[in-house]
Amino acid sequence: MVVKLYKNDVSPVARACMMACDLLNVQAEMIDVDVFKGEHLAPEFVKKNPLHAVPVLEDGDLVLHDSHAILMYLAEKYDKNGSLYPKDMKQRALVNQKLFFSISFVYMRLRDITGPLIFEGEKPSEKRFKAIDETYGFLEEFLSRTKYLAGDSMTIADISAFASGVALGFLVELDGQKYPKLHAWMTTMKQMPVSQKFNAPGHSAYEKFIKKLLAA
């Protein structure tokens, strides 16, 4: 049975799942959900995800509607050699730690700005922008210890943090002199073929959309 991934290319968390599918050679059926037309509010979609958001993964009778849970599930099932999600318990714990950091800091610092802006027309305060710079500092510290967030090889934690973190860059420019390790990591992630294919186009559209709202 083919795995189905409901997504929208402008969503950073959906793009993380798209990249993971490609890296793990998952033959997933990518199904677009046009949130601008309200397709995420359709009863049949809300039945899949009461939070009416993308991404959503369907694998037979299993339905998952959190990108981080999706990443963990895909890696658990398809990453046979443990390259993106180590089999070793301690190494996996480090990946989980950074994965949870990704959702609680990287994605939420983005969401704290874009959520009120998109749905309420509320412009972000200076405090929100300072919180992004603080997150850059945390990431810099992590990457000063290891090449990637959870070790010396890329994992699903990097995929998750990159997809959301790259979007922070058009809200608060990343200073490469202040954060050299983060800048180098971000450049490496951007240059990956899977990133160019699945992240770059949606990121560009997302950037234009958010900047238009900020300028309004």
| Integer Cα distance of 70 and 15 in angstroms | 12
User: Would the pLDDT of 1 be above 90?
Assistant: no
Residue 215: what pLDDT?
A: 95
pLDDT grade, residue 56 (50/70/90)? very high
Domain segments of the chain as ranges: 3-78, 89-215
pLDDT grade, residue 36 (50/70/90)? confident
User: Would the pLDDT of 89 be above 90?
Assistant: yes
What is the second-level CATH architecture of the domain 3-78? 3-Layer(aba) Sandwich (3.40)
> What tokens appear for 149 in the block?
């967030």
Percent of the chain with pLDDT over 70: 100
What's the rounded mean pLDDT across residues 77-99? 96
SS3 state of residue 190: helix
Residue 82: what pLDDT?
A: 95
Residue 165: what pLDDT?
A: 98
User: Would the pLDDT of 112 be above 90?
Assistant: yes
| Integer Cα distance of 176 and 184 in angstroms | 8
Angstrom distances, CA of residue 213 to CA of 77, 114, 118, 122, 207 = 40, 9, 7, 9, 10
What is the second-level CATH architecture of the domain 89-215? Up-down Bundle (1.20)
pTM of the full structure: 0.96
Q: Which residue, 99, 103, 114, is CA-closest to 10?
A: 114
Q: Give the chain's mean pLDDT.
A: 97
Instruction: Give the contacts of 75 (CB within 8 A, at least 6 positions apart).
Output: 20, 24, 84, 85, 156
What is 52-88 written as a DSSP string?
--S-EEEETTEEE--HHHHHHHHHHHH-TT-SSS-SS
Residue 16: what pLDDT?
A: 98
